[in-house]
Amino acid sequence: MNILIVGSGIVGLSTAFELALAGKKVTVVTRNYEEGASWVAGGMLAPLSEGLEGELLEFSLENLRLYPDYVSRIEEVSKIKVFFEKEGILRLGVDEEEMELIRKRAEVYSRMGLKVETLEKGDLRNIEPAISEKVEGGVLHHEEGNVDAEKLMDALLIGVGNLGVRIVVDEVVEVERRNSRVESVKGLKDRYSADFFVFATGSWSKSLLKLPVFPVKGQILKVKGPEPKKVCYSKASYIIPKEGFLLIGATSEEAGFDTRNNLKGVGTLIDGAVRVMPSLGEAELIDVKVGFRPATPDGKPVFEAGENFATLTGHHRNGILWAPISAKMVLDLIEKGVRSRYFDLFSPSRFEG
């Protein structure tokens, strides 16, 4: 079976990887394989810290359970070691209002059987001494994790190459479709046919697929300085330790596809990080990056399964977290004829009318 995937973010490459690993012949068509949110994502695997609930929380926890094996497969095929840990995330309350909010959420999650630990000021600084004394407290979500998204993307690119996936650089501008069947896709350079098509087009889904997906610009800082032991997440800042550097993020700007860094955004990120961890005022700023999160009006992803195609888009802030199941949904559909319930739960039909 010949499979064509449009898009090379983490969802597109993860799907290509799993399909090729299962023996399928896969081609990826992309306008730029280093464009989009995946290359500059913070890499937090943080559905509880995000405060997700209902079907989004259920979907996210299922992805969290799959993540260790997902990373292990990619490392084995690519021969690249990916920074990944599931040792918990500190969700901080920088003021009384935020602390009350996360305390209530922690009670709900605890009743669900999730491992959470509420920390008052003194307990918090036993874990992270560098946190400001003005921070009211926090909640340690033990089941959450952190992955180096850029390294993961590097490993995926190498991995799909090792599995024989062909990557074609072209901008797909039209989907030639008859009812629920895709006949071919048209690029600026060529027209492409396949037995099955996967559209993982992220923030560019609106123009190509006529879906209500729009870009949310995010600026993120890469710095070298004092590193906390765990991710420190609050409304003021995300401080995310990697191997030898930190990421500080992230802005959320509805600014279209504006690739420029701006002082307002950078200043907000710096002020927030120093508010949480004053010692970061002496950190070295290495880089400022911009990415575009594919958002939807209700904050949920968009999944569609047609006669010979699948659409996976609208992952917004959680593309890194939601990649394993997104890929598995397509693999199960093609290999077993099993249609995931998430195709119905997050169907684009919810936007009709």
Q: What is the CATH number of the domain that holds 277?
A: 3.30.9.10
Assign residue 199 the CATH number of its domain: 3.50.50.60
Residues 286 and 301 in one domain: no
Q: Which of 269, 295, 321 is the last residue of a domain?
A: 295
Residues 74 and 153 in one domain: yes
Residues 41 and 176 in one domain: yes
8 A C-beta contact, residue 147 and residue 183: no
Residues 157 and 73 in one domain: yes
Which tokens belong to 337? 């004829």
Residues 20 and 61 in one domain: yes
Query: CA torsion sign, 90 to 289 to 84 to 16?
Result: positive
16-50 tens-digit pLDDT: 999 999 999 999 999 987 776 788 899 999 999 99
169-182 tens-digit pLDDT: 999 999 999 888 99
**pTM to 2 decimals?**
0.96
Which tokens belong to 24? 């399928």
Residue 118 has a pLDDT of 96
DSSP string, 296-320: -TTS--EEEE-SSEEEEE--GGGHH
**pLDDT band at residue 164, thresholds of 50, 70 and 90?**
very high
Percent of the chain with pLDDT over 90: 94
Closest CA to 117 of 98, 128, 102, 135: 102
Residue 33 has a pLDDT of 76
Provide φ and ψ at 26, rounded to 5°.
-125, 135
Residue 82 to residue 10: CA distance in whole angstroms: 14
- The whole-number average pLDDT for the span 58-87 is 97
Residue 17 to residue 19: CA distance in whole angstroms: 6
Q: Which of 295, 314, 341 is the last residue of a domain?
A: 295
Closest CA to 319 of 27, 5, 36: 36
108-132 tens-digit pLDDT: 999 999 999 999 988 998 999 999 9
Domain that holds residue 30: 2-80+149-212+297-351
Closest CA to 25 of 156, 160, 191: 160
- The gap from C-alpha 292 to its chain's centroid, in whole angstroms, comes to 11
Which tokens belong to 170? 């072209």
Q: Which of 255, 275, 295 is the last residue of a domain?
A: 295
Residue 353 has a pLDDT of 67
282-339 tens-digit pLDDT: 999 999 999 999 999 999 999 999 999 999 999 999 999 999 999 999 999 999 999 9
Domain total in the chain: 2
Residues 161 and 196 in one domain: yes
Q: Is the pLDDT of residue 243 over 80?
A: yes
Distances from the Cα of 63 to the Cα of 56, 146, 325, angstroms: 11, 13, 6
